[in-house]
Structure 1
Amino acid sequence: VADPDSVEDKRRFFRTGPGEYGEGDRFLGVSVPDQRRVARRFKSLALNEIRTLLVTGAHEERLTALLILVLKFAKADEAVRSQIVDLYLANTASVNNWDLVDSSAFQLLGEWLADRDRAVLDRLAGSQSLWERRIAIIATFAFIRRGDHEWTLRIATTLVGDRHDLIHKAVGWMLREVGNRDREAEVRWLIRHQRTMPRTMLRYAIEKFPADERRAFLAGTGAGPGG
C-alpha cells in the first residue's frame, strides 16, 4: 500500500531535515487510513513482534505498531494491558514524532493511569526528550475525558516555560480541552500564567473564547467572563 511518490511530502511535513525535530526519519509513503487497515488486520500480532516493528520500523511502521497496541489494549485484560504499557514506556525513543505521540499517549498510558498512581507523568514532563514531555501532557487527555483536569493543569504548569513549539501547541490544546468541560478551571489557570506563557500556547488555549476575551488574554489582562 506504499506510495513512493508521497515520501518527499511526508519528509517535509514531519520536518526531517537537518536540525529539525524529525531529522533522519524514514518514510514508506503509506497513508494513515491504510495504516489503520493494516493494524486491524494484524491486531493479533504478538507483543514481541510489535516491539520489533516499533523499534526498527520506518515512520509508518512505528505508527502502525502503536495503532495495533491501541487496538490490543482496548480488548485486553489487566495483565496484558500492563505488558503493553511497560512496552510503551520502555520504547518512548521510538514514539518520536507528534502524530506517534498523539495516536498513543492518552489511548494507552493515559487510560492505564486513569485510576492508578500517575507519578510517571511528572518524570516524563521533566524529561530531556521532547517526545516524552509531549507524552506527559497528551496522556492527561484520558483524564480530561473523565472530567478530571487536575493533572492536566499540573503538567501544564511544569511545561509552561518549555521552549519547544510542539509542547506549546500540545499544552494549549489540552488547556482548551479542559475549558470545553470546565471553563472556570481553565480561566483560573490562564489568569495566573497569561503574561508569561508562550503566545502559541495561549492562542491554542483561548481559541474558542469570545473575541473580546481573547484580546484581553493576549494583552495580559484577561479575567474571564464579566471580568
Structure 2
Amino acid sequence: MPEKTSPAVAAIENELRGLGDPEVAAFLARFFKTGPGEYGEGDRFLGIRVPVLRKLARKHQSLDLSDCHELLVSPYHEARLLALLILVLAYDRGDEERRAAIYRLYLDHLAYVNNWDLVDCSAEHIVGRHLENADKTILSELARSRSVWERRIAIMATFRYVKAGSFEETLRIADMLLQDPHDLIHKAVGWMLREVGKRDRAAAEAFLRPRYRRMPRTMLRYAIERYPEELRQRYLRGEVESGSEAAAGASS
C-alpha cells in the first residue's frame, strides 16, 4: 500500500492487513481472474470477505473524502472495495454538495473501479442515483467506452431506475450494448433485462422479441431465466416471433 498516507488511512490499512487471510487471497485472485490476459490481470488481494468489509465500511463511514481517495487508488482490491462501500454510505447520508463531490470523485477515478464487484456495489448507488433527475448523457458515453468496466457501469447504474419501475434508460443502454464482445457485459445486460421482466414482462418482451436472435447466448439466457419453461425454450430455439413478424401475421 502507499507509503505516504494520512493517519486515518494508515490505521485502516493496518486493520485490513490484520484481517487478511492468504488462503482466501489466493482463492479471490483466481475467482476474479487475475492471471495474465484475464480481465482482472495484476490485481492484488489481502484475503478479506465482503461481509467483513461491509462491517468495516459502517465503522468508517464518516471518513474524509480525501482519505477515501487514498483507499480508492490502492493496489489492493479490498481497499478499493472498502473505499467504494464507504462512498456509497457517505452519498446516502450527504447533502447536495457532498453528493456532487462523491460523484465527481467516482467519475475521476473510474480506472480504479476495475472489476465487476467494484462496479456492482457502487454504480447504481452513486452514478445512477446522482443522475436520477439529471441529464444522463454520461451513461451513453460510458456505454461507448473501450473499458469493459465503464460499459458495465453504464448498464448497472440503471438498476436504480429499474427498482423504481422506470425501464426506458435500462433498455436504451441495453440496446447500445446488445452486441458487446465481452461476456461480463452479456451477463450484466441480461441481468438487467431479467430485472425488467420481473417487474413488467410485457416491457421486457417488447424489447427482446425484435432483438433476441441477435443477442449473445449468455445475455439471452440471463434475460429469460425466470420465464415459464416452455416460453424460455422457444426463445432458445429461436421460435418466438419478433414484433414485426407478429404484426405481419395479424395483417395477412
For the superposition of Structure 1 and Structure 2, which TM-score range results when normalised by the shorter chain?
over 0.9
Q: CA RMSD in A?
A: 1.1
Q: Which residue of 1 aligns with 2:228?
A: 210
1:161 to 153, 163, 179: 179
* d(CA) in 2 for partners of 1:133, 1:111: 17
> CA-to-partner distance for each residue in 1:37-59, whole Å, 9 max, x for gaps?
11111111110110111012400
2:21, 2:46 within 8 Å by CA — same for their partners in 1? yes
* d(CA) in 2 for partners of 1:223, 1:46: 55
Runs of 4+ in 1 over 4 A off after TM superposition: none
* d(CA) in 2 for partners of 1:223, 1:79: 50
Specify the SS of the correspondent of 1:195. Answer: helix
1:42-57 counterparts in 2 under 5 A?
A: 42-57=60-75
1:127 paired to 2:114: no
* d(CA) in 1 for partners of 2:24, 2:179: 36
1:73 to 74, 91, 100: 91
1:43-122 counterparts in 2 under 5 A?
A: 43-122=61-140
* d(CA) in 2 for partners of 1:104, 1:80: 16
Q: How far off is 1:221 after superposition?
A: 2.2
* d(CA) in 1 for partners of 2:229, 2:108: 44
1:4, 1:28 within 8 Å by CA — same for their partners in 2? yes
Taking structure 1 as the reference length, what is the TM-score of the superposition? Answer: 0.97
Q: Which residue of 2 aligns with 1:193?
A: 211
1:176, 1:204 within 8 Å by CA — same for their partners in 2? yes
1:148 paired to 2:188: no
> CA-to-partner distance for each residue in 1:47-95, whole Å, 9 max, x for gaps?
0110111012400000000000001011111110010000001111000
> CA-to-partner distance for each residue in 1:82-135, whole Å, 9 max, x for gaps?
100000011110000000000000011101111111110000000000000000
Specify the SS of the correspondent of 2:165. Answer: coil
Specify the SS of the correspondent of 1:40. Answer: helix
Letter in 2 for 1:149: F
1:217, 1:223 within 8 Å by CA — same for their partners in 2? no
Specify the SS of the correspondent of 1:7. Answer: helix
1:15 to 30, 33, 55: 33
* d(CA) in 1 for partners of 2:100, 2:32: 31
1:194, 1:222 within 8 Å by CA — same for their partners in 2? no
Q: How far off is 1:223 after superposition?
A: 4.5
Specify the SS of the correspondent of 2:41. Answer: coil
- Greater mean deviation of Cα atoms: 2-11 or 102-111: 2-11
2:201 to 161, 178, 183: 183
- Greater mean deviation of Cα atoms: 106-115 or 17-26: 106-115
**Matched residues, number:** 225
- Greater mean deviation of Cα atoms: 40-49 or 19-28: 40-49
2:179, 2:215 within 8 Å by CA — same for their partners in 1? yes
* d(CA) in 2 for partners of 1:56, 1:166: 24
1:170 to 161, 167, 188: 188
* d(CA) in 1 for partners of 2:64, 2:234: 53
Name structure 1 gaps, 5 residues minimum: none
2:43, 2:75 within 8 Å by CA — same for their partners in 1? no
Specify the SS of the correspondent of 2:67. Answer: helix
* d(CA) in 2 for partners of 1:126, 1:26: 28
Name structure 2 gaps, 5 residues minimum: 1-18, 247-252
Q: Which residue of 1 aligns with 2:9?
A: none
